Chains A and B, each alone.
Chain A
């Protein structure tokens, strides 16, 4: 997923560094500061949960690919090989990109084969994947 936490935090700094033109100093700047604060808050969540979410997702995709290789081809077993040894967000994301690409290919093959049970299983995995990466924004009161 993009952008990354380092990019977002650097962006927050850069967004505040340049003095705004006079016509952007009022409501616009206030809103901009509010959004940078929101991003910082969400970055704190990602720092706390991001590794666990990626570890879980990569493991779950590997298991699905490996379990499907018998019917859909050894290339999915090959894509499932390996473990995450570098637990930085960047390294986990690189591995995740390759796994997600293989998952997309597997899902297409499953749909072409009208394999209802595995399609349902993949769609259930998507729900868990999206939920694991969820970020929680506190509701703001209406003005």
Chain B
């Protein structure tokens, strides 16, 4: 049975009237979920929707309910976040777990490998990108739907929870010894950051490529919340500025703005401070987390019979680029004494 037929059967059952699906098309990118755009007509009414279905193999192992509730947490909040419409954790007619969300048309998500990614709109997009991230950091997670499922760490436990998780991923998936990332992990453990200023929703993958802009300088959709959790808001800021996401750029973070300006925008929007010492910890952590993800990608590439070239690229080229970043960060740290 084709995906279109399965989708029509599901929507017909849940909407209580015959549903006709058209324009079903898989969207490139996004190795953690299969993503499709489609239109549906039910009783003369048309809707433009997105389907996010669990893949057979994945770059990262994430909880789709958590992602679904992360979208719900910020839809209608003033941030450009699509509406989460339906969640099926058992897969229903589509055989694998999925959720459906509203579609925002008229935009594009830039590849982090593009140079320069945002051209003449870099400054304008950067202003919104870091301001939106500040707004996410400012929200009280306890009042949001994501708190229904996301564990709530202690302020002084955020760093350890994340570092334990991603080190565990490397322990489980590593297929060749990685002395560089191992040394970084030891440095992070030996020099923990101060407790988080507050608990925030952490998007988890807030970066170039995971939002859409309209081509004229306006950010129109914040996407890919599959790694969302509750934690230290500096985690997202460090990930957003990870050098991996600004290919070939040396003087602008995220291919958008000078670092100091990006931090100032985030601080103004969040009401928080990016303490330099604490932020340095989260910057190094971001590079460690990246390497953990690429380590998993390499394992999944093998497990999936080498059929997904995105996993191959991530587990090989991106892993090596991440090693360059990690080694440079490690070399810049103070000497042992």
Q: Which of A104, A111, A120, A140 contacts B114 (CB 8 A)?
A: A140
Interface-lining segment among A34-42, A67-75, A78-86: A34-42
A97–B24 Cα gap in the complex (Å)? 46
Interface-lining segment among B11-19, B219-227, B327-335: B327-335
- Can you list 22 A-B pairs with a CB-CB distance of less than 8 A? A2-B302, A14-B306, A22-B4, A26-B26, A28-B27, A30-B28, A31-B29, A39-B316, A42-B317, A96-B176, A104-B179, A123-B183, A123-B331, A124-B331, A126-B179, A129-B180, A133-B320, A134-B320, A134-B324, A137-B317, A139-B247, A142-B119
Q: Dominant SS at the A interface?
A: helix
A108–B336 Cα gap in the complex (Å)? 12
**CB of B197 closer than 8 Å to a CB of A:** no
**CB of A66 closer than 8 Å to a CB of B:** no
**CB of A88 closer than 8 Å to a CB of B:** no
A80–B36 Cα gap in the complex (Å)? 52
**CB of A87 closer than 8 Å to a CB of B:** no
Name the CB-closest residue of B to A10.
B306
A2–B177 Cα gap in the complex (Å)? 10
CB of B336 within 8 A of CB of A114, answer: yes
**CB of A27 closer than 8 Å to a CB of B:** yes
Chain A interface category by residue count: 35 or more
CB of B115 within 8 A of CB of A111, answer: no
Given contacts A104-B182, A116-B337, contact A3 B306 (CB under 8 A): yes
Which residues on the A side are within 8 Å of B29 (C-beta)? Answer: 31
CB of A140 within 8 A of CB of B321, answer: no
Name the CB-closest residue of B to A46.
B316
Excluding A21-B3, A111-B186, 13 further A-B contacts by CB distance (< 8 Å) are A12-B309, A14-B306, A23-B4, A32-B28, A42-B313, A120-B335, A124-B331, A134-B320, A134-B324, A135-B316, A135-B321, A139-B247, A143-B114
A119–B183 Cα gap in the complex (Å)? 10
Which residues on the A side are within 8 Å of B316 (C-beta)? Answer: 1-3, 8, 39, 42, 135
**CB of A52 closer than 8 Å to a CB of B:** no
Chain B interface category by residue count: 35 or more
A129–B108 Cα gap in the complex (Å)? 37
A31–B194 Cα gap in the complex (Å)? 43
Given contacts A11-B301, A36-B309, contact A23 B114 (CB under 8 A): no
CB of A1 within 8 A of CB of B176, answer: yes
A133–B310 Cα gap in the complex (Å)? 20
Q: Tell me the chain A residues, 85-124 only, with Cβ under 8 Å from chain B.
A: 93, 96-97, 100-101, 103-104, 107-108, 110-111, 114-117, 119-120, 122-124
**CB of A15 closer than 8 Å to a CB of B:** yes
Closest Cβ of chain B to A45, distance in Å, is 10
Closest Cβ of chain A to B101, distance in Å, is 17
CB of B309 within 8 A of CB of A126, answer: no
Closest Cβ of chain A to B191, distance in Å, is 12
A101–B118 Cα gap in the complex (Å)? 42
**CB of A48 closer than 8 Å to a CB of B:** no
Closest Cβ of chain A to B242, distance in Å, is 16
Name the CB-closest residue of A to B304.
A11
Closest Cβ of chain A to B298, distance in Å, is 5
Given contacts A104-B182, A133-B323, contact A32 B302 (CB under 8 A): no
**CB of B25 closer than 8 Å to a CB of A:** yes
Given contacts A22-B2, A143-B110, contact A116 B116 (CB under 8 A): no
A61–B90 Cα gap in the complex (Å)? 50
CB of A119 within 8 A of CB of B176, answer: no
CB of A35 within 8 A of CB of B313, answer: yes
A101–B186 Cα gap in the complex (Å)? 15
Closest Cβ of chain A to B86, distance in Å, is 19
Q: Tell me the chain A residues, 3-25 only, with Cβ under 8 Å from chain B.
A: 3, 7-8, 10-12, 14-15, 18, 21-24
Which residues on the B side are within 8 Å of A42 (C-beta)? Answer: 313, 316-317
Which 3 A-B pairs have CB atoms at the shortest separation, nearest pair first? A11-B306, A31-B28, A139-B115
